[in-house]
Each structure stands twice: as structure tokens, then as C-alpha cells.
A = this chain, B = another copy of it.
Amino acid sequence: MAGKVTRDDVARLAGVSTATVSYVVNNGPRPVARRTQQNVREAIEKLGYEPDGVARSLVTRRTRSIGFIVPDILNPAHTAITRALGDALWDADYSLTLGNSDENPERELACLRAFRGRGVDGVALTPGGGNLGALFALHESGRPLVLLDRQIEGLPANCVLFENRGGTRAAVEHLIELGHRRIGLINLPAALTPGRERRDGYLDALAAAGLRHDPALIREGGFKGGGDNPGRRLEGRLLAADLLDRRDPPTALFVSNNRLMRGVLHLLRERGLRVPADLALATFDDMEYYEDITPSITAVDTSLQEFGQQVARLLLEQIEQGQNGREPRVIRVPFRLNIRESTRGT
């Protein structure tokens, strides 16, 4: 506040030009005599000078910050990705500015605009499906952009995805190996990448085992991910109840994400179902508490940490080297199936 120390003060005290101070502070781009460096450093120390990032940004046109739009950071999967992304960016001296879209296209657009206004050096987001115009424009402007979890038809942007299909297939095959023949699927909407690919993985597993697929065993949520809409909170509960109330109910369930799974857990408690005796359960997204609760839950562990790191890598690569007409990269983060009591028993 009071009387900010600027580079001029340092230059004066050290008896050099402001340019020299700049070269010392930034370690370049041109060399400075050792002796002079000394003097400047001392002056900086004595005055308690700190460079002003805003002024620097104005001339370099870089802010060393990344805008990150997440549908809902309350979803533990997004939290973990945010954490990993933030850490990786931090290591590269970038900071993370957060925006919640709540799966609301207007909010998403508002975030995009706000980020541009603030001059972020890149944007990462889980696109809600709208705002195609803005996203194409953003991509065409050459600004670093990374899509998470969902691809956008025709938009050749870098993208990080889960092994949706392979992970789901592995989990369902595991259920099949345990002897299950009627396996229900509580799925995300198949309109977006994760729902579509997880459904395909489920079908793959059935087909590979020579099981006929009964469409009546698939239930699909109408919800796309974020927000705290209470009606949707336990959507998984409704869908699972629906399935279990059939005259010929499944003996096992694969649940496509952690939000749906919460609803299913809720239902288990309400009905006092024994797991895996009455119903075996496997799910996508491995939450930390799945290994603490009773029964512990078999889950496809998607390495959220690596996911976040890859997003950072793509972003930094683009910032430092530009896209250079390179083909867009689509990275799949590997998975691991964590088998626990909800399928294997105690």
C-alpha cells in the first residue's frame, strides 16, 4: 500500500538502469556482470522490492495462471483432479483460478469470458455440451485449451479421458467370473462420452462372455454431473430400486459413477440388502471411503491424480511450444480394478 517500492528505486539505489534491474530479476535475457548483479540484489534486499506481476503481465501478455472450469468441485472425482492439476501447475509456477459451471451453459460461458478478461494463459474444462461457438472460437484463437472427460464432436482440441470402456469391461468381467449372469447397469446419460463408453464396456464384457444382453437391465440417469439439485442427489437410488423391483432382478450391479453410487448405497441401507450375498456391486470412480465402509466397495480406480497431471502437461506443453499445427492429443488415463467386499465378499 503505502509507497510501493518500484524498480526505479532499486535502480537508483544500485546505481544502474532499470533495464539492468530487470535482467537481474529475470535472470536474463541478457547477461549482467557479476558485480552489478551483487549490487542490484543488495538494493532489492535492502528496499524489500518485489516485482509487480500485473505490470509484468501487461507487457509479456502472460499471467502465469490457468482457468479451470469444473462442473462441480464437490464431486470428489473433480476435487482430486483439481488438486493434482493445481499441484502440477504450481510446480511450473502457474496458479489455478477456479470456476464452477454447475453444468449450466451460461455459467460456463461466463467463466470463459471472465477468464479471457483476466488474461489466463490457458483454459481447462469439462465441457457441459453447450457453448460450442465459444469453445471453437477459443480453440481457433490458438489459446491453450484442454478438454476433460468429454470430447466435443469436430473440435480438435487436446483432451484427457478415462479408460471408460476398458475399465467398465474389466469390472463387469469380474462380476461374470464370480458367476453373475444378470448384471444391471446404472449408467450416466449415454449422450456424453463417459456414459457412452461405459455402456459400451458393459456390452463388451457381456458379449465376450457370450451372454445375451437384456436392455431391460440398463437404467440411464438424466443428469450430466454437477450441481446440488436435491432431486438428482439420489438418482441412483431410484434407478436401482426400479431395477431390483423387476420380477427377474439382477444379481449384480455396475454403477457408472460415484454420484449414482451414493444413491445405490442409500438404497441398500433402506432395504437392508446384504452385499454381495443379495446383490454384488461394482462401480466406476474409486472414492477414498470405499475402502473404509462396510462393505468395502469394488471400484474402477481411474487414477485421478494422473488425470490431473496429464491435463497440466498438455496445458504447459501448449503454452510453451504452441500447438504448431500438431495433431490434437487424446490421452487415456489407465485404470485399475480394486476388488473389495462388495463383489468378493469378506
Q: Which residues of A contact B (CB under 8 A)?
A: 1, 50-55, 57-58, 63-65, 72-74, 76, 79-80, 82-83, 86-87, 90, 93, 95-100, 113-114, 116-119, 141-143, 234, 262-263, 265-266, 268-269, 287-289, 291-296
Max chain B CB contacts within 10 Å: which of A98, A116, A291?
A98
Add 4 more A-B contacts to A73-B73, A266-B291 (CB < 8 A).
Answer: A73-B79, A234-B292, A269-B292, A269-B296
Residues in B neighbouring A76, C-beta threshold 8 A: 74, 76, 79
A90, B83: Cβ atoms closer than 8 Å: no
Q: Are B79 and A90 in contact (CB under 8 A)?
A: no
Residues in chain B near residue A83, CB distance under 8 A: 72-74, 100
Contacts of A234 in B (CB 8 A): 292
Given the known A-B contacts A80-B74, A86-B98, A293-B265, are A117 and B1 also in contact in the complex, defined by CB atoms under 8 Å? no
Instruction: State in angstroms the CA–CA spacing of A100 and B86 once bound together.
Output: 8
Chain B min CB distance to A7 (Å): 14
Expressed in whole angstroms, the Cα–Cα distance for A114 and B64 within the complex equals 11
CB-CB < 8 A to A95: which residues of B? 97-99, 114, 118
How many monomers of this chain does the complex have? 2
Please determine whether B63 and A74 come into contact, CB atoms closer than 8 angstroms.
no
Residues of B within 8 A of A141 (CB): 1
Tell me which residues across on chain B come within 8 A of A289, comparing CB atoms: 262, 265, 287, 289, 293
Task: Kindly report which residue of chain B lies nearest to residue A268, judged by CB atoms.
Answer: B294
Q: In the assembled complex, which residues on chain B have CB atoms less than 8 Å from the CB atom of A266?
A: 291-292
**Residues of chain B with a CB closer than 8 A to A268's CB:** 294
CA distance A266 to B74 in the complex (A): 23
A291 neighbours in B (Cβ, 8 Å): 266
Which one of B51, B82, B119 lies within 8 Å of A54 (CB-CB)?
A: B119
Q: Which residue of B lies closest to A267 (CB)?
A: B292
Chain B residues near A87 (CB-CB < 8 A)? 100
